[in-house]
Amino acid sequence: MNAALASKDLIEVEDLRVGMFIHLDMGWMSHPFPLGSFKITSAEQIATIRSLGVQRVRWSAGQSDVPTDTAGWGSTTDFDSLAPAADADAAIDAAAPAPAAPAAPVAESPEAIARQQHKRALAEQRAAQLLCERQFSEAVRDCKQLTELVSNKPKEARQQAEALSKALLDKMLVDRDMCIRLLSDAAGDKASSHAMNVTVISLLMGRSFGLTQADMMDLGVGAMLHDVGKIDLPDRVRHRDDQFSGAEVRFYEEHVAHGVGHARKMGLSPGASMVIAQHHEHADGSGFPLHLNTDRMTAAARIVALVNRYDNLCNPQVAAKALTPHESLSLLFAQGKNKFDTAILGAFIRMMGVYPAGSTVQLTDDRYAMVVGVNSSRPLKPRVLVHEPKVSRDEALIVDLEATPGLGIRRSIRPMQLPVASLDYLAPRPRVAYFFEAAAPQEDAVAA
């Protein structure tokens, strides 16, 4: 690409204006905005961008709502040096014969218009998926790094845990509905992916209950570090097994006490420390280590206890024992009424939907599909990837059941019960991982 042309896409942050569509080419945790590419809508956003310490950002004139004469703002091209060439071009234009009138544009066929719309929608869909997967991957990586600091640099581990929780909250606490998106690949090691799954869903739960910023921080840090005590256990007892002897069960359960010890060394807040101490307690007093009931558990610990159990059902250590998200939710509802806070269990089911993201289902028109996204405020009509034999999977558009009257979900079905062609097409992953994104404006409008 010509360097001069490339520089026209850059603008000095001091020259930013409301209406410009910009791209922040930095890690998602390096800025507080839900997306890295967006249209500036307020002076406050400009002030925030200027506080990030960058000199220039990319912007897209075609996607911006600013006068055309601002196209040169902030450009690093030296326009004075181009003036002689511009004068020469003007002289050549004056001597040349007038160009013929352009031919009238040929109207595009409805089929061509439909293909263009499909192409644009597909590009947007892929970009949104890649963004969530990149953000999850970065968060899992940072979670793993801070866990590795716990033993030798506990204070630094706490600071990084708090920074990561703050970054998640900055993107989550916006005045928009949140969508829970299924990731096509859970990047990173299992322990860190589990910690991030529990953190993301727990924070969304806290958001639905309207917890304060301070309580949300405690919830995020506690969820992220709920299993930190396992770093002191041998690999063979880090995950509870039905075949454990009594001694092995006691050895496993000691990870809670180890975790509390690490929390003390890190200097975690009391709220975050209580999550680590109580994440295996049950509402009926049947949990461990202290057999507490609901009245003696913090709200954050009750949330994490439930979400932790859900993720362990979906992503057990032995993949063959995994339940589908729908089966996991059904089991929690059937068997967990006594073990989990009923208000939190009800809110969790409402937020995740009867068919959480990752569930394989049969639609009311008999086609098979996989739930890939759920609006946490309106979960009964999720977004699904439908097996369309005439459309390649790479070209398939996600179907929003909210916007498709007459089409719904008939039943959940285990992946292995799918027809072979549908199983190959939908390709459900052995590990279920979630991330979040702000709902599209039109989805908010439907909710209103």
Quick one: pLDDT at residue 67?
A: 66
CATH architecture of 121-177+186-352: Orthogonal Bundle (1.10)
Find the mean pLDDT for residues 308-330. Answer: 94
Contact 432, 193 (CB under 8 A): no
Binning pLDDT at 50, 70 and 90, where does residue 101 land?
A: low
The partner residues of 38 in beta bridges, in order of sequence, read 22
Domain ranges of the chain: 1-78, 121-177+186-352, 356-447
- HEC sequence for the chain: CCHHHHHCCEEEHHHCCCCCEEECCCCHHHCCCCCCEEECCCHHHHHHHHCCCCCEEEEEHHHCCCCHHHCCCCCCCCHHHHHHHHHHHHHHHHHCCCCCCCCCCCCCCHHHHHHHHHHHHHHHHHHHHHHHHHHHHHHHHHHHHHHHHCCCCHHHHHHHHHHHHHHHHHHHCCCCCEEEEECCCCCCCHHHHHHHHHHHHHHHHHHHCCCCHHHHHHHHHHHHCCCHHHHHCCHHHCCCCCCCCHHHHHHHHCHHHHHHHHHHHHCCCHHHHHHHHHCCCCCECCCCCCCCEHHHCCHHHHHHHHHHHHHHHHCCCCHHHCCCHHHHHHHHHHHCCCCCCHHHHHHHHHHHCCCCCCCEEEECCCCEEEEEEEECCEEEEEEEEECCCCCCHHHCCCEEHHHCCCCCEEEECCHHHCCHHHHHHHCCCCCCCEEEEECCHHHHHHHC
Structure tokens at 439: 């709902």
| Cβ atoms < 10 Å from Cβ of 338 | 11
| Cβ atoms < 10 Å from Cβ of 269 | 17
Find the mean pLDDT for residues 18-32. Answer: 79
pLDDT digits (tens, 9 = 90+) for 112-136: 888 899 999 999 889 888 888 989 9
pLDDT digits (tens, 9 = 90+) for 368-398: 999 999 988 788 899 999 999 999 999 999 9
In angstroms, the first-to-last Cα distance of the chain is 46
Contact 416, 180 (CB under 8 A): no
Give the percent of the chain with pLDDT over 90: 60
Quick one: pLDDT at residue 187?
A: 62
Binning pLDDT at 50, 70 and 90, where does residue 31 land?
A: confident
Give the CA dihedral 344, 171, 325, 364, nearest 10 degrees: 100
Binning pLDDT at 50, 70 and 90, where does residue 52 land?
A: confident
pTM: 0.79
Structure tokens at 327: 């089966």
